[in-house]
Amino acid sequence: DSGVTQTPKHLITATGQRVTLRCSPRSGDLSVYWYQQSLDQGLQFLIQYYNGEERAKGNILERFSAQQFPDLHSELNLSSLELGDSALYFCASSVGTSGEQYFGPGTRLTVT
């Protein structure tokens, strides 16, 4: 158990819908990272927040957005969902901005 929690574990929704994925980092960690893992794309870095502010951006679509709240939990919002958005979404956290990241169990999103 990494100490990072993600909810929900599974999510099934229809194309065009909007969903919110939630992540609680390890106690004391200030950075939160979001990754997408699909069968054909591997593990893709989406975005990083550090203490409430956006710190780094990867291959995140404009239909996706994220934020980190004062209590340091983070949410990833996915809108206008497409079939291709079906994937595992992982959240990770770290104390600062180091590469020693601890990953949650992931949320499996299925878009039908």
Asked if 13 and 20 count as a contact pair (C-beta separation under 8 A), the reply is no
Residue 28 binds to another protein (criterion: CB under 8 A): no
Residue 64 binds to another protein (criterion: CB under 8 A): no
Strand bridging mode 10-13 / 107-111: parallel
The residue (of 94 and 111) whose beta carbon lies closer to another protein is 94
Binding mask 72-91 for another protein (x = CB under 8 A): ----------------x-x-
Answer for which of 9, 40, 62, 99 binds another protein (CB under 8 A) is 99
CB atoms within 10 A of CB 69: 11
Six-digit token string for 24: 């609680």
Answer for which of 55, 75, 86, 95 binds another protein (CB under 8 A) is 55
Residue 30 binds to another protein (criterion: CB under 8 A): no
The residue (of 18 and 57) whose beta carbon lies closer to another protein is 57
* Nearest C-alpha neighbor of 111 from the set 88, 83, 80: 83
Six-digit token string for 79: 């809108």
